[in-house]
């Protein structure tokens, strides 16, 4: 663990977060960190249960004098999004995260940090072992696999948790209270293809689209950032149409909830047009760099000569697939009418792949309006059918409808104003929080969400503001003291 973290406030929180960084915990591979949580609970004599899905529940009694307070559930998820820079050799299944203190922030060494939501878990565990934290009965619910499908929230059963108030610790701007979030759904496209022999007289190239910022497909979708898959598709379409090129394979993007930062492809073009094609690639790079000059200052598009592949994708299938990718809507689709500045509906074209006879693409659709989410799914289905491509709409989860009369929200507002002298902003968030799913099996829960300031989650430049972590923790402790 980076011992310098222990010099930060609050020490208990940063100590726990440092140990979380040491235990690999990418989505669906949380075994190591769960093992550490159980050892930590045993060390502190705190009972912990694990349900059949894999979620953990820590239970602590009220501090003296607070026995009659309403029971509270502190909730965060234990998995992280595994993203690394292309020049960083990092195995997320075995290697620890390397936190670095950098000018008032904590970031990682060319990987995601996992402050989303390691800081939330660390805050909850620190609070229940803090001798200065006064509270009623508290449970800490740590869910699994939030980032790739909300598996833990989907699998939570009625009766496993006993509390009446849920405080979600997975928000990412200090000073904001969240009382609503978008729902989501996955769109999975798939079709097979055949290959044909590469025509004679062709030269092979590998396309690289790199240097994009990426980011969280909910929090950052409104920032106007480029999608590597869309840029690659535009280039590949022109390669086929203007140069008589062929496509051998494609691999772009990655996780469903991360804006794609990189894409690659192998193409062939007639040798007689090789010089013209190389000049076109440089011109195309200049074009897209100008288009995204304010948001993607390090964008790079290059082609490098490689061995000419013996087989390429059958041209009609390649054309249909690229047309489909080009037609799929990406980014913000509609802003909210009821909450100015909030994205209502969006889509993230997360990845597209064509290799080994299989073509696929994955999208994450989000909306705070369920009918709009369903309508966007229907649009995806229509596009797939036009491209002779199969599609499955899966993993649909509900949004969290705001309750502006929420008692816990009012308590949080009162505490924040008294403690910091300003009123917190009451917000809804376009990202998906687990609160929407919790409301299905625990419909009577009174819920609120807050957290520290985390920038660029789901990307290798993720960082968390140190001062905001202290304020967030102090606020959490004060809220627990004031719950009635």
What does the pLDDT look like over 271-286, one tens digit per residue? 999 999 999 999 999 9
Looking at every residue in the chain, the average pLDDT score rounds to 96
Rounded distance between C-alpha atoms, residue 366 and residue 221, angstroms: 10
Domain 185-397 has CATH 3.30.70.360: yes
Active site residue 146: yes
- Give the CATH superfamily of 3-182+399-482: Zn peptidases (3.40.630.10)
Name the residue ranges covered by the structural domains of the chain: 3-182+399-482, 185-397
Which sign does the torsion angle of CA 90, 96, 101, 107 carry? Answer: positive
Task: Select which of 22, 79, 116, 186 is catalytic.
Answer: 79
DSSP code, position 303 = E
Assess whether pLDDT exceeds 80 at residue 448.
yes
Q: Are 454 and 119 in contact (CB under 8 A)?
A: yes
Active site residue 79: yes
Residue 25's pLDDT band, with cuts at 50, 70 and 90, is: very high
- pLDDT of 332-381, one tens digit each? 999 998 778 889 999 999 999 999 999 999 999 999 898 999 999 999 99
Pairing of strands 331-335, 165-168: unpaired
Neighbours of 288 (CB within 10 A): 19
Classify strands 72-77 and 138-143 as parallel, antiparallel or unpaired. parallel
pLDDT digits (tens, 9 = 90+) for 30-78: 999 999 999 999 999 999 999 999 999 999 999 999 999 999 999 999 9
Decide whether 3-182+399-482 matches 185-397 in CATH topology: no
Catalytic: which of 30, 117, 146, 220? 146
The sign one gets for the Cα dihedral 40, 149, 114, 339 is negative
Give φ, ψ of 387 to 5 degrees. -95, 10
User: What does the alpha-carbon distance between residue 74 and residue 450 come to, in Å, rounded to a whole number?
Assistant: 11
Q: What is the pTM of this model?
A: 0.81
How sure is the predictor about 403, in pLDDT bands with cuts at 50, 70 and 90?
Answer: confident
């Amino acid at each position: 663990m980076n011992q310098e973290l222990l010099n930060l406030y609050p020490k208990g929180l940063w100590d726990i977060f440092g140990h979380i960084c040491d235990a690999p915990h990418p989505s669906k591979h949380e075994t190591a960190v769960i093992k550490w949580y159980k050892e930590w609970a045993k060390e502190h004599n705190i009972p912990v249960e694990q349900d059949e899905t894999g979620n953990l529940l820590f239970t602590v009694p009220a501090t003296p004098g607070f026995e009659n307070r309403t029971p509270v559930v502190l909730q965060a998820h234990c998995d992280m999004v595994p993203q690394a820079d292309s020049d960083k050799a990092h195995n997320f299944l075995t290697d620890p995260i390397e936190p670095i203190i950098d000018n008032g922030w904590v970031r990682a060494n060319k990987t995601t940090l996992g402050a989303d939501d390691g800081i939330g878990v660390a805050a909850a565990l620190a609070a229940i072992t803090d001798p200065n934290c006064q509270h009623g009965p508290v449970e800490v619910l740590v869910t699994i696999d939030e980032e790739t499908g909300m598996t833990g929230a989907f699998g939570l059963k009625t009766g496993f948790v006993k509390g009446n108030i849920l405080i979600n610790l997975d928000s990412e701007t200090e000073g904001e209270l969240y009382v609503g979030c978008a729902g989501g759904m996955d769109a999975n496209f798939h079709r097979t293809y055949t290959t044909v022999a590469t025509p004679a007289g062709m030269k092979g190239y590998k396309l690289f689209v790199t240097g994009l910022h990426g980011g969280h497909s909910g929090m950052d979708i409104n920032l106007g950032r480029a999608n590597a898959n869309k840029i690659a598709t535009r280039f590949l379409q022109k390669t086929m149409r203007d140069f008589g090129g062929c496509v051998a394979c494609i691999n772009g993007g990655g996780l469903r909830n991360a804006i794609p930062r990189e894409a690659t492809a192998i193409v062939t073009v007639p040798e007689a047009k090789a010089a013209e094609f190389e000049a076109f690639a440089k011109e195309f790079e200049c074009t897209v760099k100008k288009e995204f000059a304010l948001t993607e200052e390090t964008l790079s598009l290059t082609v490098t000569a490689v061995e000419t592949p013996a087989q390429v994708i059958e041209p009609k299938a390649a054309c249909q697939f690229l047309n489909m990718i080009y037609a799929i809507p990406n980014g913000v689709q509609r802003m909210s009418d009821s909450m100015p500045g909030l994205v209502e509906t969006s889509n993230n074209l997360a990845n597209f792949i064509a290799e080994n006879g299989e073509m696929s693409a994955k999208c994450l659709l989000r909306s705070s309006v369920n009918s709009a989410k369903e309508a966007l799914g229907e649009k995806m289905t229509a596009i797939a059918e036009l491209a002779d491509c199969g599609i499955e709409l899966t993993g649909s989860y509900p949004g969290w409808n705001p309750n502006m009369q929420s008692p816990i929200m009012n308590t949080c507002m009162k505490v924040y104003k008294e403690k910091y002298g300003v009123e917190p902003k009451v917000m809804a968030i376009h990202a998906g929080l687990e609160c929407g799913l919790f409301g299905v099996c625990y419909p009577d829960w009174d819920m609120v969400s807050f957290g520290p300031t985390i920038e660029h989650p789901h990307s290798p430049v993720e960082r968390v503001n140190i001062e905001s972590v202290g304020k967030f923790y102090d606020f959490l402790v004060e809220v627990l003291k004031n719950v009635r």
